[in-house]
Amino acid sequence: MKTETGQTIRLDDYRPTDYAIETVRLDLKLDPKRTQVTSTLSLAARDGTRGGTPLTLDGDALTFVFAELDGKPLSPDDYVATPDAFTLKRPPEGLFELTIGTETNPEGNSALMGLFRSSGTYCTQCEPEGFRRITYFLDRPDVLSVYTTRLEGPKDQVPVLLSNGNPIEEGELADGHHYAVWHDPYPKPSYLFAAVAGNLAHISDTFVTASGRTVDLRIYVEPGKEDRCHWAMDSLKRSMRWDEVRFGREYDLDIFMIVAVSDFNMGAMENKGLNVFNDKYILADPTTATDTDYAGIESVIAHEYFHNWTGDRITCRDWFQLCLKEGLTVFRDQEFTSDERSRPVKRISDVRTLKAHQFPEDAGPLAHPVRPQSYREINNFYTATVYEKGAEIVRMLATRLGEDGFRAGMDLYFERHDGEAATIEDFLACFAEATDTDLDTMLLWYNQAGTPTVTATSSWDAGSSTFTLKLTQNTPSTPGQSEKAPMPIPIRFGLVGPNGDDMEVERIEGAEAAADVLLLSEHEQTVVFHGIGARPVPSLLRGFSAPVRLEADTDTADLLFLLAHDSDPFNRWNAAQTLAMDHLKRSTEAIRRGDTLAADPEFIKALETVATDTGLEPAYRALALQLPAESDVFREIATDVDPAAVSKARTTLKGEIGSALAGTMRDLYDTLQDDGPYHPDPESTGRRALSACALDYLVAGGTDGAEELAKTHFDTARNMTDRLAALSTLAMNRLPSAEPALEDYAKMFEGDALAMDKWLSMQAMIPQPDTLDRVRELMDHPAFSIANPNRVRALIGAFATGNATGFHRADGAGYHFIANIVIELDPKNPQVAARLLAAFRSWRSLEEGRRTLARQELERVAERADLSRDSSDIVSRMLG
Ligand code: PHE
Ligand code: ZN
């Protein structure tokens, strides 16, 4: 294998910079190929820095033009300028001003980091290390500076000029040029810098803060798309209000702007006062966006807005602390959605996401702690572990401390660290102090990778009226960490009595317990519940109170009982999932033996009861009917996985349920249709989800007339949610009407990139081996472009991560194809290439034949001589 490039950065090596940058004056003269950047930094040595210590600024592929010190040209003897660094050899004492001119080519920037162009709009992306591609800087999050930015360009091409903070000056210049100056009074790290310039339209609104200040709100988009921004604006205003009510956080500038761009590596970016969004998370109207899109927009808008306090006002000391802003902000956006919509539905969806993305990451070669100890490429650490597991840790704190305790800790955090770059230790200390709780062992959750397994075995003793629970915890070894200490695991519980109600517990022995939460803190603990006069069914880990795998000795009868009675909606749903999973695992084994396994009629009946229980909200019922995904079964089987057998087991079970419940599903479908105007509210969203689910079961069950029903649903749909649901049912079940419907769809939405992304994805996910040929053909379709990350994710990403049958083709053609795309994409956009490569992350769990083929492809990628640091880091960890 090729030797690894790039040095390893370690948390233990952290030390502050020798110099502070107090203010930054940036001047950008915009030009497609030769944008001139002049940056003037006012610098001073920090206390304790020896006089004359050289100052080295970071750069990345920069073209140096000139340098001045305190307004006078520097002699070439005084500095060294390379594309990757600028060193001032002998800085003066006291405060000094360094001015550096560089030049950059936005149009040639295909990596979309630094200053690039998206459909003609100039746009920056600086997190985590993109600022150094614009100018030389101490490009790290603990250097906080006040920025003043001047943008200049031809008015006809860039009528709109935006940057962080408040606008302070604008004017006309000769030759049709104009300029604008922005000032951001809040000191910030370079990764939060942003500038946008182009021919953009906008919608505007205002928000009056709790203390009565009026804030100007604007969303900028390509002209003609303004009508699709209203949901985003509505979501923004609700987010602003929520943060005031729930966390006492007010917005702090006179203006808050969002810009939507069509070329973006990630979802969105929280630059101070000027969020930049992937247009997928802004644009929505009923004909082109689904309920899922509307919900996604609402939560990403909220997430980025919430970063204003958790990320911008209080930032991270170094990138190891990334979860400080991301985990916390994900927790905050999850809470927002729970308050705005349905708490149980949100919790179930989040846990599904966690298990689908974070659990496999934590169980494979890319496993890393929520706060890693070292990295080679920080871009590869924007992961499900940092974000989603990071949010789970914050949730565990909230569970342990209760609403008031948690809020007191947050208040102290905001008060104490406002304007600072903080650490996880700082964060935890606020909760410990505010609530007088010892939280030292919580750090283990940040430092230890791997998903703990908790086992629970129980017994009831009639004589002493006691119920005994034996709990153990065990965290598997992960790369670089073989030994694990026991962690504090909050287990929310209930003991469900024979009548289905939770039983009263007199006293608990053997574990710290507060109300309905036990704290498991040792490797092994025996917990005794007193005053239990009948055998209960334990309902453990209610609300998924900790990110662990629970192995309890609950049998089928217990699970059916919980599914019927548990007062905790999460565990009711989870009982159905566990029953389905047990069946799918056994059925997969049977299929590999050439056998079959019929579904348990009791289970199907229990599903029917939930599906038709009108006391439950439709969105919840839809979730209960949804079987575990193929990837979930994969993860549970864990070794020697045969993806084809898993796929067959799941299709078979779905068909059995569909045909057994055909009548019920048909009634359900009929009662759920509604011809009122479209609105993405939780109630009607849930109704559409349940209707789609019923339709899908009808089709999967091969019910007479189901295909026609789905075709009619597609043809007569008056919104994208219904249209796409019907199309998906036709396509995934490979029905003859799928092809003409796909053609109709393409005609309807030709030229609408986001709608066509759905069309690409859907075809990429059709579970059959020759889908690969289709994906290859679609790469030549005008709707596809390898240069645009959304298109790559829609077609190639969906195939690699959303089509187990296609990607894991027994002949390895799926692996070969993805490896080729990675090799092609890597020189252009390493971040997108590296993410695609991560689709292989569970390759070691595959059965031997596929495992060998996958390894060969990974080795082929690893041997490429000029692989980016992003991809080489991923591939070497994956093979390591
Ligand atoms: N900080 C962004 C968010 O989570 C994500 C992001 C990271 C965007 C890196 C761009 C680049 O809100
Ligand atoms: Zn974020």
* Residue-level pLDDT at 75: 97
Calpha distance 821→801 (Å, rounded) = 14
Q: Is 630 in the pocket of ligand 1 (CB under 6 A)?
A: no
Residue 113 CA: which ligand is closest? 1
326 CA closest ligand 1 atom index: 4
Report whether pLDDT(323) > 70. yes
* Residue-level pLDDT at 752: 98
Note the pLDDT tens digit of each residue in 561-588. Answer: 999 999 999 999 999 999 999 999 999 9
Q: Is 303 in the pocket of ligand 1 (CB under 6 A)?
A: yes
φ, ψ for residue 851, nearest 5 deg: -60, -45
- The rounded Å distance from CA 314 to ligand 2 centre is 13
Sign of the Cα torsion 709, 714, 715, 717 reads: positive
Q: What is the mean pLDDT of residues 8-15?
A: 98
128 CA closest ligand 1 atom index: 9
Report whether pLDDT(2) > 70. no
303 CA closest ligand 1 atom index: 12
Q: Is 304 in the pocket of ligand 1 (CB under 6 A)?
A: yes
Report whether pLDDT(128) > 70. yes
3-state secondary structure of 11: helix
Tell me whether residue 231 is in a domain: no
489, 520, 546 - which closes a domain: 546
pLDDT band for position 409 (cuts 50, 70, 90): very high
Q: Specify whether the CB–CB gap between 321 and 301 falls below 8 A.
A: no
Tell me whether residue 281 is in a domain: no
Calpha distance 846→574 (Å, rounded) = 26
What's the number of domains the chain is made of? 5
- The residues whose Cβ lies within 5 A of ligand 2, an ion, are 326, 329
Calpha distance 540→60 (Å, rounded) = 51
Residue 129 CA: which ligand is closest? 1
Residues 32 and 161 in one domain: yes
Calpha distance 690→679 (Å, rounded) = 16
Residues 371 and 483 in one domain: no
pLDDT band for position 675 (cuts 50, 70, 90): confident
Q: Which of 118, 263, 276 is nearest to 788 (CA)?
A: 263
669, 703, 737 - which closes a domain: 703
Residues 35 and 168 in one domain: yes
Residue nearest to atom 11 of ligand 1 (CA): 127
Residues 485 and 386 in one domain: no
Instruction: List, in order, residues 6 or more apart from 665 with CB less than 8 Å away.
Output: 611, 658, 694, 695, 697, 698, 701, 703
Report whether pLDDT(3) > 60. no
Biggest CA–CA distance in the chain, Å, is 95
Residue nearest to atom 5 of ligand 1 (CA): 269
Report whether pLDDT(522) > 70. yes
Strands (E), 482-618: 489-496, 507-509, 512-514, 517-520, 524-530, 537-540, 549-552
φ, ψ for residue 525, nearest 5 deg: -145, 140
Residues 164 and 18 in one domain: yes
* Residue-level pLDDT at 358: 98
Q: Is 269 in the pocket of ligand 1 (CB under 6 A)?
A: yes
- The rounded Å distance from CA 387 to ligand 2 centre is 8
Give CA angle at 269 (266, 274), nearest 5°.
Answer: 145
Tell me whether residue 721 is in a domain: no
Residues 782 and 876 in one domain: yes
ipTM of the complex: 0.99
Tell me whether residue 65 is in a domain: yes
* Residue-level pLDDT at 516: 97
- The rounded Å distance from CA 308 to ligand 2 centre is 10
State the burial class of residue 392 (Cβ atoms within 10 Å of its Cβ: 0-12, 13-18, 19+).
buried
Q: What is the mean pLDDT of residues 120-147?
A: 98
Q: What is residue 867's DSSP assignment?
A: -
**Encoding tokens for residue 391?**
């949010």
Q: What is the mean pLDDT of residues 660-680?
A: 96
The CATH number given to whatever domain includes residue 415 is 1.10.390.10
Note the pLDDT tens digit of each residue in 105-114. Answer: 999 999 999 9
Calpha distance 607→664 (Å, rounded) = 11
Tell me whether residue 207 is in a domain: no
- The rounded Å distance from CA 98 to ligand 1 centre is 30
Residues 19 and 163 in one domain: yes
* Residue-level pLDDT at 90: 97
Tally of CB atoms within 10 A around 253: 19
Tell me whether residue 508 is in a domain: yes
Residues 461 and 561 in one domain: no
Q: Is 473 in the pocket of ligand 1 (CB under 6 A)?
A: no
Q: What is residue 357's DSSP assignment?
A: I
Q: Which of 754, 748, 742 is nearest to 788 (CA)?
A: 754
Residue 332 CA: which ligand is closest? 2
Residues 358 and 411 in one domain: yes
Residue nearest to atom 9 of ligand 1 (CA): 127
Q: Is 125 in the pocket of ligand 1 (CB under 6 A)?
A: yes
pTM check: above 0.95: yes
674, 703, 732 - which closes a domain: 703
The CATH number given to whatever domain includes residue 631 is 1.25.50.10
- The rounded Å distance from CA 582 to ligand 2 centre is 36
Query: Which of 269, 277, 332 to mutate for ligand 1's pocket (most ligand atoms within 8 Å of CB)?
Result: 269
Q: Is 31 in the pocket of ligand 1 (CB under 6 A)?
A: no
* Residue-level pLDDT at 166: 96
Radius of gyration for the alpha carbons in the chain, expressed in angstroms and rounded = 28
Q: Is 355 in the pocket of ligand 1 (CB under 6 A)?
A: no
Q: Which of 52, 595, 792 is nearest to 784 (CA)?
A: 792
Query: What are the catalytic residues?
Result: 304
What b/e readout covers 52-74, taking b as 16+ CB neighbours within 10 angstroms? Answer: eeebbbbbbebebeebebeeeeb
Tell me whether residue 54 is in a domain: yes
- The rounded Å distance from CA 26 to ligand 1 centre is 23
* Residue-level pLDDT at 5: 56
Report whether pLDDT(149) > 60. yes
Note the pLDDT tens digit of each residue in 168-185. Answer: 999 999 999 999 999 999
Tell me whether residue 298 is in a domain: no
Residues 624 and 508 in one domain: no
Residue nearest to atom 7 of ligand 1 (CA): 127
The CATH number given to whatever domain includes residue 502 is 2.60.40.1840
- The rounded Å distance from CA 16 to ligand 1 centre is 24
Q: Is 333 in the pocket of ligand 1 (CB under 6 A)?
A: no
Report whether pLDDT(878) > 70. yes
Note the pLDDT tens digit of each residue in 804-823. Answer: 999 999 999 999 999 999 99
564: containing domain: 554-703
Q: Specify whether the CB–CB gap between 14 and 321 falls below 8 A.
A: no
Count of positions (residues) in the chain: 880
- On average, the pLDDT of the chain sits at 97
Report whether pLDDT(226) > 50. yes
Q: Is 388 in the pocket of ligand 1 (CB under 6 A)?
A: no
Q: What is residue 106's DSSP assignment?
A: G
Percent of the chain with pLDDT over 90: 99
Q: Which of 559, 558, 552, 534 is nearest to 460 (CA)?
A: 534
Q: Specify whether the CB–CB gap between 541 and 571 falls below 8 A.
A: yes
Query: Which of 116, 123, 127, 322 to mutate for ligand 1's pocket (most ligand atoms within 8 Å of CB)?
Result: 127
Q: Within a 13 Å sphere around the CA of 465, how many CA atoms are in the beta-carbon half?
A: 10
Cis geometry, peptide bond prior to residue 372 (ω within 30 degrees of 0): no
- The rounded Å distance from CA 310 to ligand 2 centre is 9
Residues 358 and 472 in one domain: no
Query: Which of 191, 270, 386 to mutate for ligand 1's pocket (most ligand atoms within 8 Å of CB)?
Result: 270
Calpha distance 652→509 (Å, rounded) = 46
Residues 443 and 505 in one domain: no
* Residue-level pLDDT at 6: 72
* Residue-level pLDDT at 1: 45
Percent of the chain with pLDDT over 70: 99
